[in-house]
Amino acid sequence: MHRIINLLLGWLKWLVLAGVLIIIIASVYLHRKPAIHSQVELMPEAKLLPKEISLTTERGFPVSREHFENHWSLVFFGFTHCPDFCPMVLQKLSSLLKKPLSDKDNLQLVFITVDPERDTGEQLKNYLSFFNKKIIGLRGDNRAIASFSAFFNAPYERVITNNGKSISITAGSDMPGTENNQYYVNHSTRIFIINPTGKYVGYLDSSLTLETLYEGLASLR
């Protein structure tokens, strides 16, 4: 009798362990992110761009939501005096234009300056053409830039160092006159994705390799 009881208890223990294992496997499977979007951080819900954006191209033409429709767009915030990070990202993004992306062959790259006092239209045009003449530069007054960056949750600030003290000039504020325009800029390093209907759908980490960026974009539908 004891032998039968021990046998039943043994079988019961194995059934319990098997059940726990099945639950763990099912939990991992149900909660994992689809691998096809593993490189892209998708928004819980796509956000439609504002109809009026209040920015202009480097050539002075006004921009609206229509300029982001009917093609995929990648948006990056930066400034032309950036010593290292912006050039690295722009070089990477310009390389994407040379790789076929099936339904994204008309991919649009947009660089928005967060430093309009130094980044004139002419400065933007000359700077971006060094990487690729197809990259579109946008600028505007500080309030317009801050409003558009806030839409993407892309914070930035400019910092003046004076007598050993750092003074932060927050997004949307005009830059006070500084000797030789010496200050540095902190800004978002994300690459924001806008789909052909003019909606912000997610972002990519700009530190990803070119191949990984390519795979992330190719996975989007």
pLDDT per residue of the chain (221 residues) written in tens, 0 to 9: 545 544 444 444 544 444 444 444 444 333 444 333 457 899 999 999 999 999 999 999 999 999 999 999 999 999 999 998 999 999 999 988 877 666 566 889 999 999 999 999 999 999 999 999 999 999 999 999 999 999 999 999 999 987 878 889 999 999 887 656 678 999 999 999 999 999 999 999 988 888 888 888 888 87
CA distance 70 to 97: 17
CA distance 155 to 140: 16
Confidence at residue 50, expressed as pLDDT on a 0 to 100 scale? 95
**Domain ranges in the chain?**
1-32, 40-219
The model carries a pTM of 0.80
Confidence at residue 54, expressed as pLDDT on a 0 to 100 scale? 94
In this structure, the strands spanning 108-113 and 136-139 are parallel
Nearest to 178 by CA among 187, 190, 169: 169
CA distance 195 to 130: 26
What is the residue-wise DSSP string for 27-46?
Answer: HHHHHSPPGGGTT-EEEEEE
Return the axis-axis angle of helices 210-219 and 85-96, rounded to nearest 10°: 50
- Tokens 């409003």 found at: 147
Confidence at residue 219, expressed as pLDDT on a 0 to 100 scale? 81
Largest CA distance in the chain: 95
What is the residue-wise DSSP string for 114-140?
Answer: S-TTT--HHHHHHHHHHH-TTPEEEE-
Nearest to 199 by CA among 40, 45, 34, 41: 45
Nearest to 198 by CA among 12, 21, 34, 52: 52
Contact 159, 187 (CB under 8 A): no
CA distance 98 to 68: 20
CATH code for residues 40-219: 3.40.30.10
**Those residues with Cβ within 8 angstroms of residue 96's Cβ, 6 or more apart along the chain or in another chain:** 74, 107, 109, 210, 213, 214, 217
Q: Where are the beta strands (DSSP E) in the chain?
A: 41-48, 52-57, 62-64, 73-78, 108-113, 136-139, 156-162, 165-170, 184-187, 190-194, 199-205
